[in-house]
Structure 1
């Protein structure tokens, strides 16, 4: 019953009442059939449209046969009722019916409850009351990101408190166990506690290794350890579409957040940058209202947060612990990707913590390397700093090395390094010039990067290609910036720098070069040393010799 038909009936009834027009005249004036005019005169409410009946000749031929077979199951034991497959086979064998299995299956699904009097109680929805701080829901969703210029498929971890609807989202390159655990830890720390009751899940492979009958599941060992550490219970929904309604809040949340904040596809240089944006978006979402609620998410979250269980003192390490061997190239292999470590560890096994977005390498308790996680099969992540010691002995290997190419791509090997290397090789030769560059690169281990770059620029300004000069200027720049936090490295570079002795020798002695005042010190003299020699000779002359002593 549309608004247009209601207005049409009203005009027909008004014309008939005021002008007394016949049915024929009313039909001609309003451009409708006389049957429609009669309906309008009988009732101001238009009749409902009849549902469209789609022709199903093959089903119509066997409809009564199927109903008869289903009626046979009224008194049959539940486990011996005929399935749709059995009914279909009987139609083929006993009646030579020309009907497909999908047609029979769909009809039996609808008709069986009507004939057997089965009430679909399992599909009925009962409104739920979510106590503050008691429950949460978790799910993963796919998202596409323009990551460093490349369209990349990623996975969004979503966590939602059931009472307030406060949600936490994180995007990871994988949905493996490491990302699953790291997402939980971030969510617990972001919301300020752990639910006192249960958290609802799909049968995610990071958590569940085997789905048993009912709600029983075989959990992975590390997931069971994680739950025990934080002290919460897991509720696993029914597999497939049948269990989607059991955690409908998070199902809708994934789609809502993706449509609201991740459309169009975000363009970022790294996932760390994207997750920083997502933290701000989560906070902005606190001002919204869910459904028919009169309070905001932020208001309800304050109640939720007070009811959560406190976090344990120790933070769980979400990384997967592995012990790969370092090969001759200073690389260790993890999940078909290679990562560099300092060359002094070649031939040793190191402890690796494989996390959702990074890989951390330890020697005992000391951290020796940290890389962004490589998700491309057979990819690698290498750092130039890990190979500096061996390049001191093999300087010719630097120019064509993959570590140098990687450093240039990551902008760790800057134009300042390139300029110093070129000038150093021009003055000292390829081998010695490269060794000077490596000494400069070693300064990055103890000094800020900007201080080292300031030292390189200062040295090149006066034509020096010595690593010692760079070190002096870099330490000077770092010390000045440290003493005065308001002083930037750009200001430090404007201060007086190292003076070129070459310029001093070539210039007029009376001139002041590069801010250097006249040298009024006396010329060096060795007269003092000559005086010492004279005193020593006199002392030796005063001492009697052994022959003089024996003669006496």
Structure 2
């Protein structure tokens, strides 16, 4: 999903007569994404995916009472009915399912996974908002953290596109005076195009970049929010 500045760039390049395939490759997005914004003709915010439902007013009760009854849907449904809830048992089940999953992950013990010096770095983006002149701008922070020492390098960009990732890596390599054996990523769509038979499909420009600098890119397994870089489930 492109942000507003990315959509403006897409439309400007289309007006200059550039090919859809080239634009998609440079921005690290699918060609259908470029075609979609060409069809819409301008940026539009994504509508909220949440639809109001009967259980919404009772969610605080469910979140508080759920752990006390071990997330028993029948018990919660019966107690909610005494509070005026007129919905079905299935609605209660749908409401407690993500809460059950979150509590289960929170209960899993995690063990820190140590790496040797020079072996690995973890790379990610964060965001913050800053006033620049009279405008409140979203600033994207590239963060490159060494696995062994936890020393980090950070630099700011107006977006998280491929060009920012390439520049951020080069600046980090220069700052630390070297390149780790591998870099770990949390599956950014800019770099990870998908998976096939268990193998990560990297953006071809990114593969060339990693080969040129001599490091191996690795993507986290997309199996849950609690299992992130530098940790493994015990």
TM-score with structure 1 length normalisation?
Answer: 0.25
In structure 2, C-alpha distance between the alignment counterparts of 1:57 and 1:238, rounded to whole Å: 31
- Say which structure is richer in strand: 2
In structure 2, C-alpha distance between the alignment counterparts of 1:144 and 1:109, rounded to whole Å: 30
- Structure 1 pair 187–58 and aligned structure 2 pair: CA distance change class (3 A): closer
* Residues 401-550 of structure 1: pairs in structure 2 closer than 5 A: none
Q: Give 1:230's match in structure 2, choosing from 200, 213, 219.
A: 213
Q: Give 1:219's match in structure 2, choosing from 202, 207, 212.
A: 202
- Structure 1 pair 190–217 and aligned structure 2 pair: CA distance change class (3 A): same
In structure 2, C-alpha distance between the alignment counterparts of 1:106 and 1:178, rounded to whole Å: 41
How many residues get paired? 154
Q: Give 1:247's match in structure 2, choosing from 221, 229, 234.
A: 229
* Residues 50-89 of structure 1: pairs in structure 2 closer than 5 A: 53=68, 59-60=74-75
1:100, distance to aligned residue in structure 2 (A): 2.3
- Say which structure is richer in helix: 1
SS of 1:154's equivalent in the other structure is strand
Asked whether the equivalents of residues 140 and 157 of structure 2 are also in contact (C-alpha less than 8 Å), the reply is: yes
Establish whether residue 192 from structure 1 lines up as the match of residue 177 from structure 2.
yes
1:187, distance to aligned residue in structure 2 (A): 0.4
Q: Give 2:166's match in structure 1, choosing from 173, 178, 181.
A: 181
In structure 1, C-alpha distance between the alignment counterparts of 2:218 and 2:73, rounded to whole Å: 45
Q: Give 2:188's match in structure 1, choosing from 200, 204, 221.
A: 204
In structure 2, C-alpha distance between the alignment counterparts of 1:201 and 1:108, rounded to whole Å: 25
SS of 2:75's equivalent in the other structure is helix
In structure 1, C-alpha distance between the alignment counterparts of 2:230 and 2:159, rounded to whole Å: 24
In structure 2, C-alpha distance between the alignment counterparts of 1:244 and 1:185, rounded to whole Å: 30
Structure 1, unpaired ranges of 5+:
1-50, 64-96, 112-118, 250-552
In structure 2, C-alpha distance between the alignment counterparts of 1:157 and 1:191, rounded to whole Å: 15
In structure 2, C-alpha distance between the alignment counterparts of 1:59 and 1:244, rounded to whole Å: 28
SS of 2:172's equivalent in the other structure is helix
- Structure 1 pair 110–53 and aligned structure 2 pair: CA distance change class (3 A): closer
SS of 1:59's equivalent in the other structure is helix
Structure with larger Rg: 1
Query: 1:155 — aligned with what?
Result: 140
In structure 2, C-alpha distance between the alignment counterparts of 1:218 and 1:206, rounded to whole Å: 11
- Structure 1 pair 192–244 and aligned structure 2 pair: CA distance change class (3 A): farther
- Structure 1 pair 131–151 and aligned structure 2 pair: CA distance change class (3 A): same
In structure 1, C-alpha distance between the alignment counterparts of 2:226 and 2:197, rounded to whole Å: 18
In structure 2, C-alpha distance between the alignment counterparts of 1:141 and 1:207, rounded to whole Å: 16
SS of 2:110's equivalent in the other structure is coil
- Structure 1 pair 123–190 and aligned structure 2 pair: CA distance change class (3 A): same
1:103, distance to aligned residue in structure 2 (A): 2.0
- Which deviations, in whole Å up to 9, do the C-alpha atoms of 1:493-542 show, x marking residues without a partner? xxxxxxxxxxxxxxxxxxxxxxxxxxxxxxxxxxxxxxxxxxxxxxxxxx
Query: 1:99 — aligned with what?
Result: 89
Asked whether the equivalents of residues 206 and 223 of structure 1 are also in contact (C-alpha less than 8 Å), the reply is: no
In structure 2, C-alpha distance between the alignment counterparts of 1:107 and 1:174, rounded to whole Å: 35
Answer 1 or 2: higher relative contact order, Cα 8 Å, separation at least 6. 2
TM-score with structure 2 length normalisation?
Answer: 0.55
* Residues 296-311 of structure 1: pairs in structure 2 closer than 5 A: none
In structure 2, C-alpha distance between the alignment counterparts of 1:133 and 1:62, rounded to whole Å: 54
In structure 2, C-alpha distance between the alignment counterparts of 1:141 and 1:57, rounded to whole Å: 37
Query: 2:14 — aligned with what?
Result: none
- Structure 1 pair 108–159 and aligned structure 2 pair: CA distance change class (3 A): closer
1:185, distance to aligned residue in structure 2 (A): 0.2
Query: 1:444 — aligned with what?
Result: none
Asked whether the equivalents of residues 237 and 244 of structure 1 are also in contact (C-alpha less than 8 Å), the reply is: no
Query: 1:550 — aligned with what?
Result: none
1:130, distance to aligned residue in structure 2 (A): 1.6
In structure 1, C-alpha distance between the alignment counterparts of 2:72 and 2:120, rounded to whole Å: 52
Query: 2:150 — aligned with what?
Result: 165
Asked whether the equivalents of residues 114 and 230 of structure 2 are also in contact (C-alpha less than 8 Å), the reply is: no
Asked whether the equivalents of residues 147 and 230 of structure 2 are also in contact (C-alpha less than 8 Å), the reply is: no
1:212, distance to aligned residue in structure 2 (A): 4.2
In structure 1, C-alpha distance between the alignment counterparts of 2:151 and 2:207, rounded to whole Å: 25
1:245, distance to aligned residue in structure 2 (A): 3.4
